[in-house]
Amino acid sequence: MGFQRSVTIAQLQQKFSSSLMLGSPQTTIKTLSTNRLHTSAPVNQTSTSTFKVARPARVLALNDLRDNKGARKIKKRLGRGHGSGLGKTCGRGQKGQKSRSGNSKPGPKFEGGQTPISRVFPKRGFKNPFKRDLQPLNLDKIQHWINTGRLDASKPITLREIHKSNLVRFKEGVTLLGRGAHVLTTPITIEVTKASKQAIERIEELGGKVVCVYHNRLALRALLHPEKFAVLPKSAQPTTAKLRRLYEDPERRGFLAPEIKGNYTPVSFNFERMPNPQAQAAVAKQ
């Protein structure tokens, strides 16, 4: 690393006597070294004692800059002789699936060579990604809930009342079906997402009313949990032509049908019924 040389004690005393202020000529210096110096040049055999002199380390320069150890990953070179430890089979061993070239890792559906379950039990047919998941609700269950006091037939039954009474669990809406039509004996006013003709006929025969109302995800959440909104959002209109034809059809009792729209306002759109003082105050300002 640095410049090194060895001198005798006599030469040292003669050269540095004035600067070191040694005192008596018999005084000897054992060693003089630096931390960066660990080796010395060959020692003169005639001298009894030596010391080491090293030149100071050079100031850091741009050509001395190096990455830290491990900062750069050394590329693994395969097949360059067995002395490297990665020759011949290149660390893969002999034969087998894992020793082959290419991507030998099987896919997630690979089952070791046996017939995969996707071929044993195939799923055929078209799955509509836009289909609404409407939960069925029958008339006999509504009458049972009324008889047990879980539903109040004197008030309009909306999706909020259906949800609170745990009549049926739903995510996107409820379709009213006519099973057990003879069991229903109480006239009711009910709002659902969709209703069958048999259910409509039975409810209107008893003097009740059925209205099919469209709710998007935000409007349905505001209907079920109005306390989570400072200002309740307005209900959205049907987005597709098919849904619009459904809710404009008077035979299906759609809320956009002229016969229904002129004589009845869906309770779901009546913000005054929502138990939310902030929402009521916001609507009153409007």
Residues 44 and 163 in one domain: no
pLDDT band at 85, cuts 50/70/90?
A: very high
pLDDT band at 138, cuts 50/70/90?
A: very high
Residues 261 and 155 in one domain: yes
pLDDT higher than threshold 80 for residue 250: yes
DSSP helix/strand/coil, 104: coil
Q: Where are the beta strands (DSSP E) in 105-208?
A: 134-138, 173-177, 189-192, 194-195
Segment of 37-41, 60-64, 261-265 carrying the highest mean pLDDT: 60-64
Number of domains in the chain: 2
DSSP helix/strand/coil, 198: helix
Residues 40 and 139 in one domain: no
CB-side neighbour CA atoms (13 Å) of 158: 17
Q: Is the residue at 152 inside a domain?
A: yes
161 and 151 Cβ atoms separated by less than 8 Å? yes
pTM, to two decimals: 0.54
Query: What's the pLDDT score for residue 103?
Result: 81
Q: Is the residue at 122 inside a domain?
A: no
Q: Which residue has the higher pLDDT, 264 or 254?
A: 254
User: What's the average model confidence in pLDDT over 61-84?
Assistant: 90
Q: Which domain holds residue 211?
A: 134-285
Give the span between the Cα atoms of 190 and 176, in whole angstroms: 10
Q: Is the residue at 2 inside a domain?
A: yes
pLDDT higher than threshold 70 for residue 224: yes
159 and 173 Cβ atoms separated by less than 8 Å? yes
Residues 143 and 279 in one domain: yes
Q: What is the CATH number of the domain that holds 233?
A: 3.100.10.10
User: What's the average model confidence in pLDDT over 219-243?
Assistant: 90
pLDDT higher than threshold 90 for residue 182: yes
